[in-house]
Amino acid sequence: MPKPLFFVGNKRSGTSLLVKLLNLHPDIFITPESDIIWILYQAQQGWPKEFRTYPWDSPVGMWRTLETAASVFESARISGNSVSVREMFDLVQEHLRLAMDPDAHSKVPVWIGDKKPVQHCDPEIRPFIQQHFPDARYLHIIRNPNAVVASKQSSAKHFRSPPGYWQESPVAILKRWAIHEEWVLQARASQSIPLLSLKFEELCQQPAEQMRRVFDFLGLDMPGRIARKIAREVRRNPNKKYDSAVIPDIHLAREIIEFYRYAPKEA
């Protein structure tokens, strides 16, 4: 049975790049926002008449998974309570893996997970994850909040269904960023989960070295061919286009910004 791997933190922080690099390894498969934990969290007391969108996220991933894996969900509902949360997670993720790549290697990955960093660190959902996935590990990637706020504002203009707060003021976006990072710090302080943090900027500047840290954390080797692939996938300074961005100075975010040793420009 694959081991579960989850992301915590904020979107627009480099999670897509990290997932791309992780999926270069044959022993890892991460779905790009399947929302499977949020789906199972809502279904733990029985299949709901209507699924709710996670309040700080887009509904796109959830509805795509419910459609793509409809046959898996339907089979489990017909069989009653014989399928556990963990088993359903594995069934859906494997179904999505093969749907994304019909020629996927037949070898079952060692690690399998999903990229939903806000959902996975939500204090309401985290106990559910720890109950059903006690062997899970967690990756946290943090990015300069200047770039995060600017990226969310930019993405809100062309994403099909962006989270609502991305269309609000820089103050509102930064407040949510701080709250989500505070959730990660709370999880880290509890010392109840194995969690590795890395900085997006360091990943871009030292991709092989940083990914070696990640693979070591997961108990995996990094063959030379994967290191070469990783180097080809990374742009060294993706924050450059946000160099002129400034963010408001709010107390809620200041301590977290200083904790991670960022010095963002302030309006």
**CA angle (177, 122, 4) in 5-degree steps:** 115
pLDDT at 265 over 70: no
Question: How far is it, in rounded angstroms, from Cα 207 to Cα 144?
Answer: 17
**CA angle (76, 80, 85) in 5-degree steps:** 60
Fold for the domain defined by 3-259: Rossmann fold (3.40.50)
Cα four-point dihedral sign 146, 149, 151, 153: negative
Question: How far is it, in rounded angstroms, from Cα 218 to Cα 214?
Answer: 6
Strand order in the sheet with 195-199: 28-31, 111-114, 3-9, 137-142, 195-199
pLDDT band at 266 (very low <50, low <70, confident <90, very high): low
Q: Convert the pLDDT of each residue in 202-240 to its tens digit.
A: 999 999 999 999 999 999 999 889 999 999 999 888 777
Q: What is the pTM of this model?
A: 0.93
Q: Convert the pLDDT of each residue in 151-204 to its tens digit.
A: 999 999 988 889 999 999 999 999 999 999 999 999 998 877 899 999 999 999
Identify the pLDDT of residue 218. Answer: 98
Domain boundaries, the chain: 3-259
Higher-scoring residue by pLDDT: 104, 38: 38
Identify the pLDDT of residue 78. Answer: 53
